[in-house]
Amino acid sequence: MADFKASPHAPAHRAEKPVTALSDRHVVVIAGSSGIGLAVAAAAAERGARVTVTGRDAARLAKAAAAIGRGTDTVVFDGTDGDEVARFFSKIGHIDHLVSCIGFSERGTLLGHAEEQARRVIEHKFWAQLRIVRQGLPVMSRDGSITLTGGTAADRAGVPHFAAFSIIGNTALGALVQGLAAEIAPVRINVVEPTVTNTPLMDILLPEQKASFFARFSATSPIGRVPQPQQVARSYIHAMESDLINGDRLRPDGGPTLVL
């Protein structure tokens, strides 16, 4: 059951902010209590948006709202649960920009995955985000936007890969936004495809494994470092603010993603 709760963290005096394309617009970030989602919500609030952040954990959402400030609203529900998604959009009211930052990490090759595990990956990567689009569209501004989250794992699919079905899910998302761009017009839709990013999702690795993985990525990346969530969030802001970005795949990876 979704728990609608306004954050008590609005400051008593709000500093004057320059007018931006997001000023006074309602931005909803699904799965925004940490990592890239939190960075997107904070960046939107900084640009004057009224932000609603959702997540499954009330304590993490409260911490996120305190970090963002500016009267952030929080709603507790599971963005991969179809019934809870429908309930959320039936109550949320008008939305100008909708962002899904649902993420999912798993290990396994194409032949090595159990069928149940593979279906779970596709459910989180593709179907959950398609449901968000379907349920959110009726309450969207005609000049608004939807931004989904994919990934760049397909660029490393030439070798046995530990996240093989994520590759399939990410590829499907790219095809989805291209098809939906015409179908849901004039609402725009795009997918941001981050590369390796220093977020809590990487904590599935042991500390020494993560350090080694980050070091190898940095050594082969043109920018020589692992992207931070705040850097990746700029691509989501661009997708929201630019009315010429539509049906596109934005890749904030610092350059060509090379084999690790």
Angle value at C-alpha 171, between 83 and 136, nearest 5 degrees: 30
From 3.50.50.60, 3.30.420.340, 3.90.1170.50, 3.40.50.720, which CATH number describes the 3-9+20-199+230-250 domain?
Answer: 3.40.50.720
Asked whether the predicted pLDDT for residue 126 surpasses 70, the reply is yes
Annotate 241-260 with DSSP letters as a single string.
H-TT--S-EE--SSSPPPP-
31-44 burial code (b ≥16 CB/10 A, e <16): bbbbbbbbbbbbbb
The arithmetic mean of pLDDT across residues 24-50, rounded, is 95
pLDDT (tens digit per residue) in 234-257: 999 999 999 999 999 998 877 765
Query: Which H or E run includes 51?
Result: strand 50-55
- Distance between CA atoms of 241 and 68, rounded to whole angstroms? 20
Map out the domains of the chain as residue ranges: 3-9+20-199+230-250
Q: What percent of the chain has pLDDT over 90?
A: 53
| Residues 245/188, Cβ–Cβ less than 8 Å | yes
What are residue 55's DSSP bridge partners?
76
> In one letter, which amino acid is 41?
A
